[in-house]
Amino acid sequence: MKAKYFSAEDRVAAEAMARTYFPHAGYDIVVESAEGDAGEPPRLFLAISGTPAETRNADAGFGVYYEGDGVYLELYDARGVGAELDTAAMSRHLGRKNISGVDARAMQALLAERCGRAKIAPAQKEHIYGEEIIVEVAKDEMTARAWLLAPEPGAAELGFDEAVKKTSEAGVSHGLDEKALQVLLDAKEYGEPYVIARAAMPVDGVDGKIVFHFSTDERTGRPREIGGGRVDYRSLDLYEPVTEGQLLVSRTPATEGAPGTTVTGKPLKFKPGKDARLPKGKNIEVNEDMTEIHAKCSGMVAFVKNSINVSSVYKINGDCDLSIGNIDFDGSVHISGNVRSGHVIKASGGVTVGGSVEAATIIAGGNVEVKGGMQGADKGRIEAGGSITILFIERGTAIADGSISFDVSIHSVLEAGGTLSAKGRRGAIIGGRAGAAGNVTVNYLGAVSRTQTEVEVGVMPRKRARIHALEKEIEKLKGDLVKLDQLDTYLAASSDRLEPETWDKLFRSGAENRRTDLLLLEEYGEEMADIKFELEHATESKVHVLDTVFEGTKIIIGNGVFKVSNDIQYASFRYKDAEVVYGPCELSK
């Protein structure tokens, strides 16, 4: 549909003017008075050309005409169910026409009337606009998109070089996708946005990695296969052998990373990778590049407390008795027989006892395996930096940083940094106290005779003591650093009074002590953070009873205490809402 206002003396004259202006055969031309019939001639008439459907239901529109006395704007109101005037489209068109001297009041008055004709600017030459591109940069400057505006009939299309210039003027200086821009220009989908530029994302550095070339998993304690489908129940998976020169650890360095750039050229921050530190240890060799650790001797390797220890093995064929004496060995100890009462065995590695242990003491930095049991007589004691595996323990003490596995514990003290498992033929804890940072799993807890039995899970008492010790060490180191600051102040003020040799000696000593103290502060801080995290999650551990927990048993989790007043079968105890509760056992028999 097309429309136009005509000034004529009457409707007949207006119709004649319209038929000359709209020379389209077959279209209806409707002429309506745009002013009251009482107006003096010439009067304003609206002529509409189109099909009957178009003339009945037409969207509101506008037209701009350059005439001898000025520039005129015409508004055509909607007809029937036609849409209202798209003022944004009209404003965009008028802006692209570059009309000078626009009378804003005349335009506003015409818009208020919604239809009619008004002079909006003085006479001037008409500007025919060509194809244009609009470029918009996103608020986060990660992308820029553009869309084309259609040209007037016969006007020039936008060239690629001009489009590139427009994107640059809009602030896009990086990441322009020239192919996407060309697609936009070729598609001619006016008003449809296309992403034409993207930021270059920053590349974070990759953290350095430590690769262990031996198993650091907790030893399973399972019997080893000896072929033919048979297993040796006296030879358990408790340590890993190594040979001299064997590669134990390799380290890959961290990468720096690279910054990114927004579409406007602003840098985007990146996160550099962190270098991984090689673990410390004994009987190991580190290469010059600090990238590999090799075994310094043959023996067994263990990863305990973030330290790699390669230990040689001290073997005793027979009992550890008066003919052997006490043992203090930097390595592992294998005893094929028994450990008699009164003897003390200390080993930086693991200890294996082929027989039983009487009222003796075993202190090991790694795992302890006792293929028999312990008759402790309230004096026997086993301490392990790793795990403890023993058949039974009666009136003894067993403390392990790792897990403790056994069949029966009778009136003993057990403390495990990992799990505590009694799942043998009997699988019982009868009397005494048992504590574990992890879960406790037993068949029977307590006894029919109501023997007082206490079980606590979630935290080891030694962990709390270690925090206090670390706090004292950290306070001492901070005090030493204050003294070193005072030394630096003194040296700065007395550089001209002291002998150069003395001054240099004091300066070097202070610098070395400061370096050592700062390293220890970092190490102690990390250890304290790990222990505190463990204490904060102390209520996550559970007690699993696969058969019966008897009356007289006390179960402690966190600050919750549960006293068993009646026998309970097949149950799991956990911490909830500041108390210990139980339900059906979460493990299968």
Residue 57 in this model has a pLDDT that exceeds 70: yes
Q: Name the burial class of residue 38, with classes exposed (0-12), middle (13-18) and buried (19+) by CB atoms within 10 angstroms of its CB.
A: exposed
- What's the token pair of residue 476? 């001492």
Per-residue pLDDT band for 461 (boundaries 50, 70, 90) equals low
DSSP annotation of 130 reads -
Average pLDDT over all residues of the chain: 88
Q: Which residues pair with 257 in a beta bridge?
A: 204
User: Pick from 287, 357, 574, 565: which is nearest to 450 by CA?
Assistant: 565
Q: Which helix (H) or strand (E) holds 92?
A: helix 87-96
Q: Pick from 393, 471, 403: which is nearest to 435 by CA?
A: 403
Q: What is the mean pLDDT of residues 548-572?
A: 92
Q: What is the pLDDT of residue 56?
A: 86
pLDDT value for 54 = 82
pTM: 0.46
Residue 386 is predicted with a pLDDT of 92
Looking at residue 224, its pLDDT comes to 54
Per the listing, tokens 């007289």 go with 552
Percentage of residues of the chain with pLDDT beyond 90? 59
Judge contact between 350 and 401, C-beta under 8 A.
no
Q: 52 — phi, psi (to 5°)?
A: -55, -40
The two tokens of residue 568 are: 């309970």
CB 123 within 8 A of CB 69: yes
Helix and strand numbers (H, E) in the chain are: 8, 41
Instruction: Please check whether residue 331 is in contact with residue 311, taking contact to mean a CB–CB distance below 8 angstroms.
Output: yes
45 pairs with which residues across the strands? 6, 33
| pLDDT tens digit sequence for 223-258 | 555 566 565 443 345 457 788 899 999 999 899 999
- For residue 577, the model assigns a pLDDT of 86
At 161-209, the pLDDT tens digits run 999 999 999 999 999 999 999 999 999 999 899 999 999 999 999 999 9
φ and ψ of 317, to 5 deg:
-90, 100
Segment 243-301, tens digit of pLDDT? 889 999 999 989 999 999 999 999 999 999 998 888 888 889 999 888 999 998 877 78
Residue 150, burial from CB neighbour count under 10 angstroms (0-12, 13-18, 19+):
middle
Q: Which helix (H) or strand (E) holds 364?
A: strand 361-364
For the segment 491-532, what is each residue's pLDDT rounded down to a tens digit?
888 878 888 888 889 889 989 999 999 999 999 999 888 877
Pairwise CA distance, residues 144 & 133, whole Å: 13
Q: How far is Cα 9 from Cα 261, in angstroms, rounded to an integer? A: 68
- Of the candidates 566, 561, 537, 571, the one whose C-alpha atom is nearest the C-alpha of residue 440 is 571
CA distance 295 to 245: 5
Beta bridge partners of 579: 576
Distance separating alpha carbons of residues 3 and 119, to the nearest angstrom: 17
Kind of pairing between the strands at 292-295 and 307-316: unpaired
For the CA atoms of 369, 374, 379, 383, the dihedral, rounded to the nearest 10 degrees, stands at: 20
Question: Could you give the count of Cα atoms lying within 13 Å of 338 in the half-sphere of its Cβ?
Answer: 14
pLDDT, tens only, 218-227: 665 555 555 6
- Per-residue pLDDT at 299: 73
SS3 477: helix
Could you tell me if 117 and 73 are in contact, meaning their C-beta atoms sit under 8 angstroms apart?
A: yes
Spatial neighbors of 371 by CB under 8 A, at least 6 apart, are: 234, 352, 353, 354, 355, 391
Give whole-number Cα distances, 334 to 124, 283, 353, 355, in Å.
109, 19, 6, 11
pLDDT, mean of residues 138-148: 94
Give kind and range of the element (H or E) at residue 179.
Answer: helix 178-187
- H or E segment and range at residue 432: strand 428-436
